[in-house]
Chain A
Amino acid sequence: MDCQECKKRPAAVHLTKIINNKKSEMHLCEQCAKEKGDVSANFSFHDLLSGLLNYDNNKTNVFEQKQCQQCGMTFQQFYKVGKLGCADCYQYFGEQLDHILRKVQGKLGHTGKIPKRIAGDISVKRQISQLRQQLQNSIYEERFEEAAAFRDQIKALEKQLEQ
């Protein structure tokens, strides 16, 4: 659909106005929408971020002082822009990002594809954490022989990781 104003760019903002029970619709591109001035043309993920963070005002102030030691982005900048500055931001904003990630993504913990060249170590670690869970279960259910077998497997894998 083309923009109703310039008829050149595709329409990106769709407005429905109801004034005195009269409904009117407008379809504008971002530029024309901004020029018309009566609409927030850029509502997006980053607009939601500050809302997601406002769960505890005191904590938000602490967050704002955090800074990524790699790229220099501050947490305050992050939630203004809505985008991180580099991969290390994930590490420096760790706890705070986890909080937002839980809201955005539902649950944490990547279970999908791993780049092949680093897959070895990570899949061993995934195996170890599965075995630990099985070890716990077998101890809980008093199946001690099985538990011993899991323990040995974990030890062997841990050795493999060290090498």
Chain B
Amino acid sequence: MEKYIDKGLSDWMQQDGPESDVVLSSRVRLARNIKGLPFAPLMTDKATKQLIDQARNAMNQQYLQELGSFELLKLKDISPLDRKILVEKHLISPKLDSEYMQTAVVLKDDEAANVMLNEEDHMRIQCIFPGFQLRTSYDLANQIDDSLEATIDYAFDEKLGYLTSCLTNVGTGLRASVMVHIPALVITGQVKRLLSAIQRVGLAVRGYYGEGSEAVGNLFQISNQITLGYSEDEILENLEDVIKQVIEHERDARKHVLAHMKINIEDKIYRSLGILLYARAISGQEAMERISDVRLGIDLGMLKGISANILKELMVITGPGYLQKLANRELSSDEWDSKRAKIIRERLANIQIDK
């Protein structure tokens, strides 16, 4: 367990991927249920035990071990603070944490994949990769799915595909989602039009914190909504085509901003950098907004000496759980903000301004 907590940054946060000037990460989730066990609303202790036993048995398959090293952890054996950090690292969902007495997670040691047990569905296979790598992410999830299915009988129907507790996931059970950083589209006022166009072609757009949340720090998650009636390949292709357009539009908008709004954009970026370098207390929301500006400054070549992955890193290590872990004690609300400011100052210490 400790290795997942001590290692603050997963590979997807530290590494670049294709098109990572706009796409921060690509995530894929497959929802699966076991034949013969009740779904979440009627789940019993006995069925929970069966589910975890079957998952443990499936993990011992050679095929799964060939994909990497996996570990099964029951959430009730993990401290509340460590669980909070797993949520902040996107390794488990808030829902899995909130029902910790009955849930478990299978973690891959490089943190590129996990399988949540007894979430809304019996199994939720999730993979996350840096940059625009939906296919890589799906391929790994698909391989994990194949290896689990070698010993587990899934609830599957010829007409409706994989059966899920909620009708919004039935069929492929596939939710593919891409996190994009599009500050120039926000600055040039094009973002609303673009996002409503995206929704018209059957995709969902959410803020960084998922369903129902607003966009913070110019980060948006774009994902498929329909899971039935289209093949996995069609779903991924549709999302990829749209993301490619988002990438092009954002790059065009950045060029436009540099050509026509240079002084405004420089002012915005340097002001934000100033605040991050000198603030002694900063809220989570303001931090995200300022870091987004700094990240744009790095992408536009105005700021040097620091990795562009700073945005992904700081999103996680300035979270309440992680800050508390670093402090090794309970923190008051003022202390959160001052700890956060301190970590950001330290991480930005080597930044250079391109004059």
Q: Which A residues fall within an 8 A CB radius of B?
A: 1-2, 6-14, 27, 43-45, 71, 73, 81-87, 89-90, 97, 100-101, 104-118, 122, 125
Residue B259 interfacial (CB < 8 Å): no
Is the Cβ of A105 less than 8 Å from the Cβ of B156? no
Is the Cβ of A11 less than 8 Å from the Cβ of B229? no
Given contacts A105-B171, A113-B232, contact A83 B39 (CB under 8 A): yes
Given contacts A7-B336, A90-B160, contact A14 B214 (CB under 8 A): yes
Is the Cβ of B39 less than 8 Å from the Cβ of A86? yes
Stretch at the interface among B13-21, B70-78, B240-248, B280-288: B280-288
Given contacts A1-B209, A110-B229, contact A105 B163 (CB under 8 A): no
A-B contact pairs, 13 of them (CB 8 A): A2-B285, A2-B320, A8-B336, A43-B212, A90-B170, A101-B170, A108-B228, A109-B229, A110-B229, A111-B230, A112-B232, A113-B162, A113-B232
Residue B348 interfacial (CB < 8 Å): no
Q: Which of B37, B146, B167, B228 has the most CB of A within 10 A?
A: B167
Residue of A nearest to B202 (CB): A106
Residues of A within 8 A of B41 (CB): 73, 81, 83-85
Residue B172 interfacial (CB < 8 Å): yes
Interface string of B45-66 (1 = CB under 8 A from A): 0000000000000000000000
How many A-B contacts are there with CB distance less than 8 Å? 148
Is the Cβ of A116 less than 8 Å from the Cβ of B149? yes
**For the complex, would chain B's binding face be called helix, strand, loop or mixed by DSSP majority?**
loop
Is the Cβ of A112 less than 8 Å from the Cβ of B171? yes
Is the Cβ of B167 less than 8 Å from the Cβ of A111? no
CB distance from B145 to the nearest CB of A (A): 8
Residues of A within 8 A of B33 (CB): 87
Residues of A within 8 A of B161 (CB): 110, 112-113
Q: Which B residues fall within an 8 A CB radius of A?
A: 33, 35-42, 94, 120, 142, 145-146, 149-150, 153-163, 165-168, 170-172, 174, 202, 208-209, 211-214, 216, 226-232, 235, 283-285, 288, 319-320, 333, 336
CB distance from A83 to the nearest CB of B (A): 4
CB distance from B209 to the nearest CB of A (A): 6
Whole-angstrom CA separation of A47 from B283 in the bound complex: 33
Is the Cβ of B212 less than 8 Å from the Cβ of A13? yes
Residues of A within 8 A of B211 (CB): 44
Residues of B within 8 A of A13 (CB): 212
Given contacts A82-B166, A83-B166, A97-B167, contact A112 B285 (CB under 8 A): no
Residues of A within 8 A of B149 (CB): 115-117
Residue of B nearest to A1 (CB): B285
Is the Cβ of A105 less than 8 Å from the Cβ of B42? no
Residues of B within 8 A of A112 (CB): 161, 171-172, 174, 230-232, 235
CB distance from A123 to the nearest CB of B (A): 10
Closest 10 CB pairs of A and B: A110-B161, A87-B155, A7-B333, A107-B229, A105-B228, A112-B172, A2-B284, A1-B285, A112-B231, A83-B165
Is the Cβ of A110 less than 8 Å from the Cβ of B159? yes
Is the Cβ of A73 less than 8 Å from the Cβ of B320? no
Given contacts A84-B165, A87-B163, A90-B160, contact A1 B284 (CB under 8 A): yes
Residues of B within 8 A of A1 (CB): 208-209, 213, 216, 284-285, 288
Whole-angstrom CA separation of A85 from B42 in the bound complex: 6
Whole-angstrom CA separation of A9 from B41 in the bound complex: 25
Whole-angstrom CA separation of A11 from B94 in the bound complex: 12
Is the Cβ of A2 less than 8 Å from the Cβ of B212? no
Q: Which of B150, B157, B229 has the most CB of A within 10 A?
A: B229
Residues of B within 8 A of A8 (CB): 320, 333, 336
Residue of B nearest to A2 (CB): B284
Whole-angstrom CA separation of A8 from B321 in the bound complex: 9
Whole-angstrom CA separation of A127 from B156 in the bound complex: 19
Residue of A nearest to B335 (CB): A7
Whole-angstrom CA separation of A1 from B153 in the bound complex: 40
Residue of A nearest to B228 (CB): A105
Given contacts A1-B285, A106-B226, A112-B231, contact A90 B172 (CB under 8 A): no
